[in-house]
Amino acid sequence: MKELVKKLTQTTAPSGYETNLRSVIEEELKGSTDQIRVDGLGNMIVRKGPEQPGAPTIMLAAHMDEIGLMVTHVDENGFARFTNIGGVFPRYTAGARVRFLNGAAGVIGIEPHSNTSSVPALDKMFIDTGVSSAKQSPVEIGDVAVFERTFEDLGDRLVSKAMDDRAGIAVLIEAFRQLKKSPNNVYAVFTVQEEVGARGAGRAAFGLEPDLALVVDVTLCGDTPQNKETQVFLGKGPAVHIKDLGTLADPRVTGWIKKGAQRARIPIQTSILTRGYTDTYTIQTSRAGVPAGGIAIPCRYIHSPSEMVDVSDLTNSVKLLAALLSKPISL
């Protein structure tokens, strides 16, 4: 699991540019799937097992994209202004290193200001690529970058950029490897452009018309010294995702997850997001509606260049998915 997470997080794939990661996922799934296809938006749709007429269709989803930056202007001295792709927070941005899709590197700078306790807005920052003029600049308007951070193995805890949602992708890949057969039609959808409005997932659901959907994504933790935002903790198991700014999970689905966890003796928590959203809301409202819920992986420092997860939460998420999918679905 550690090597898989490392491989996924260190592959660059900002929203709208998921191609490289899609290739990595396809390679990892070799021998574990019966069909792989890519839709017009770039979602990769993978089926496990033969098509079973009359059996319910289950859609699992995890998003491929990570947050990023796009150049909006390069001044005469070669400094590049930028805008965000997804939820880029200023407090995590100043001083960060970035890597462009064309290979160029840079560091995010800010102008000197008297209040060193404050953080300026993104439009007051710039990317320094180490050049002295616009003519020397290795980037131009429209070029895209991601935060550059190495993967760190801290034992039980793993740290990297893009754990959101490469952790979820790792869980889906490993669940497909471990699931030998299912009485259901099981599809895993590796979605695009979640960070910029959950654009991919709803379109994939429209095409699949699932009878039930489960989204595997990360969720905020409340286990740092003064954090009272949530009661989700690293290392205490995956969380049943009930609510975010776009979703109210179907109670039948959350009940099904909880019963499955109880039967398999897997520790679980409960996730309620008071900010942010997941792919669940666009799947849930696709066509005439889809019963949907989520399995949330606890993650510290979400949308920073150094997100942290616990290995046991990943392995328990895999066990939970395998346990749920190996039995007939009954809501």
Between 14 and 115, residue with greater pLDDT: 14
Are 131 and 89 contacting, i.e. CB atoms less than 8 angstroms apart?
Answer: no
**In the sheet where 157-160 sits, what is the strand order?**
152-153, 157-160, 307-310
Q: Looking at residues 74-83, what average pLDDT do you find?
A: 97
Predicted pLDDT of residue 114: 72
What are 193-227's pLDDT values in tens digits?
Answer: 999 999 999 999 999 999 999 999 999 998 888 88
Predicted pLDDT of residue 142: 97
Coil/strand/helix, residue 221? coil
What are 155-193's pLDDT values in tens digits?
Answer: 999 999 999 999 999 999 999 999 988 999 999 999 999
Token pair for 8? 């996924």
Question: What b/e readout covers 279-288, taking b as 16+ CB neighbours within 10 angstroms?
Answer: bbbbbbebee
Residue 24 has pLDDT above 90, yes or no: yes
Predicted pLDDT of residue 117: 79
**For residue 72, what pLDDT band results from cuts at 50, 70 and 90?**
very high
Burial (CB count within 10 angstroms: exposed 0-12, middle 13-18, buried 19+), residue 181:
exposed
| Pairwise CA distance, residues 216 & 317, whole Å | 9
Question: CATH number of 2-66+161-325: 3.20.20.70, 3.40.630.10, 3.60.9.10, 3.40.50.720?
Answer: 3.40.630.10
Which member of 194, 195, 229, 307 is catalytic?
194
Enumerate the domain spans of the chain: 2-66+161-325, 68-147
Q: Looking at residues 266-287, what average pLDDT do you find?
A: 93
Predicted pLDDT of residue 113: 76
68-147 fold: Elongation Factor Tu (Ef-tu); domain 3 (2.40.30)
User: Is 194 assigned a catalytic role?
Assistant: yes
Coil/strand/helix, residue 218? strand
Partners of residue 71 on adjacent β-strands? 82
Mean residue pLDDT of the chain comes to 94
